[in-house]
Amino acid sequence: MIMKKLTLSALALTTAFLMAGCDSQDKKAAAGGEASTVLRVGSTGQSYPSGFKQDNKLVGFDVEVTETIAKDLNYKIEWVTADFSGLMGQLEANKLDTVANVVAITPARKEKYNFADVYSYYGSQIVTHKDNTNINTLDDLKGKTVAGVLGSNHLNNLKKAFADGSVTIRTYETRDGAMNDALSKRVEGYVNSRPILLAEINKRNLPFKLVGDPLVIEEVSFPFHKDEKGDKLREQFNAELTKMRADGRLKEISVKYFGEDITAAPQAH
């Protein structure tokens, strides 16, 4: 009788383990064959309209594009917020799978990461306060101070545009710090992405004006690690971006946040 009870108990335990295993496999299969479906993605949460907080929820163009891709691939996004230089540091330390925050494709970054296909285009643009009536062209900025966000490629573009050192560059940890100093006229200029600046100006009726043409047009995409997981994610993201571009969703999300299509390459003038 005791042996019979032990046998039944053993069978029950074995069945439980088998059921748990089946359940685990079912979840794995439902998630596209991945044991873990969580992707850690970085955003500053302060980059209107690319990635910002609204009603305590992270929203924006880059955020929605990423969430759409993740949903179609059965991934769950775990958003990690920090300043831009901090995000890139976490990516380099392998604490993030990618960054969805207007990451420009540069030669230096391509040495470290493989980028997905380009999904948006931004011009590095300088603005100044409308009260600065004597600043209308890039040459007018010589001898002046221009603010930018630490770690952003806009600063590199600014340095190249004024390689003679005729412009003083002041760096900030956050976009708000750089923008506020330009608004309060503590600096004469502020550099950021043209579409972002225009969206911010329109949203808040900011007293900024554009100074000259963009310094350069940049291609933006998702950086992935140069390893097996990174290669797989890059291929999956590319496939989804192709679908979103073909069915119009990519353009639709862009128009929703910017009022224009920034997903198509600008036409040469």
- pLDDT score at 266: 77
Question: pLDDT band at residue 20, thresholds of 50, 70 and 90?
Answer: very low
What is the model's pLDDT at position 128? 98
Task: Please report how the helices 228-246 and 249-258 are oriented relative to each other, as an axis angle in degrees rounded to 10.
Answer: 80
pTM score of the predicted model: 0.73
**pLDDT band (50, 70, 90) for residue 13:** very low
- 235 with 43: CB under 8 angstroms? no
pLDDT tens per residue, range 207-229: 999 999 999 999 999 999 999 99
Residue 111 has pLDDT above 90, yes or no: yes
Beta-carbon contacts of residue 3 (< 8 Å; ≥ 6 apart) = none
Q: How confident is the model at residue 192 (pLDDT cuts 50, 70, 90)?
A: very high
pLDDT over 50 (residue 68): yes
- In this structure, what are the phi and psi dihedrals at residue 164, rounded to the nearest 5 degrees? -80, 0
Average pLDDT, the chain: 88
- The whole-angstrom separation of Cα 101 and Cα 112 is 17
Contact call for residues 103 and 218 (beta carbons, < 8 A) = no
For 226-260, what is each residue's pLDDT tens digit?
999 999 999 999 999 999 999 999 999 999 999 89
pLDDT tens per residue across span 122-161: 989 999 999 999 999 999 999 999 999 998 889 999 999 9
Residue spans of beta strands (DSSP E) within the chain: 38-43, 46-47, 51-54, 57-59, 76-81, 98-99, 113-115, 120-129, 145-149, 168-172, 189-193, 208-211, 217-220, 223-225
**What's the CA gap between 178 and 60, in Å, rounded?**
21
Residues of the chain with pLDDT > 70, as a percent, come to: 86
Beta-carbon contacts of 226 under 8 Å, excluding residues fewer than 6 positions away, are 112, 113, 114
pLDDT reading at 34 higher than 80: no
Asked if the model's pLDDT at residue 59 lies above 90, the reply is yes
Mean local confidence (pLDDT), 92-120: 97
How many residues comprise the chain?
A: 269
* CB contact at 8 A, 254 and 87: no
pLDDT for the residue numbered 267: 62
Can you tell me the distance from the alpha carbon of 244 to that of 49, in angstroms, rounded to the nearest whole number? Answer: 19
What pLDDT is attached to residue 78?
Answer: 98
Question: Mean pLDDT over residues 22-37, rounded?
Answer: 46
Return the bridge partners of 40, or none.
78
- Looking at residue 97, what is its pLDDT? 98
pLDDT greater than 50 at residue 6: no
Q: What does the pLDDT read at residue 15?
A: 44
22: confidence class by pLDDT, cuts 50, 70, 90? very low
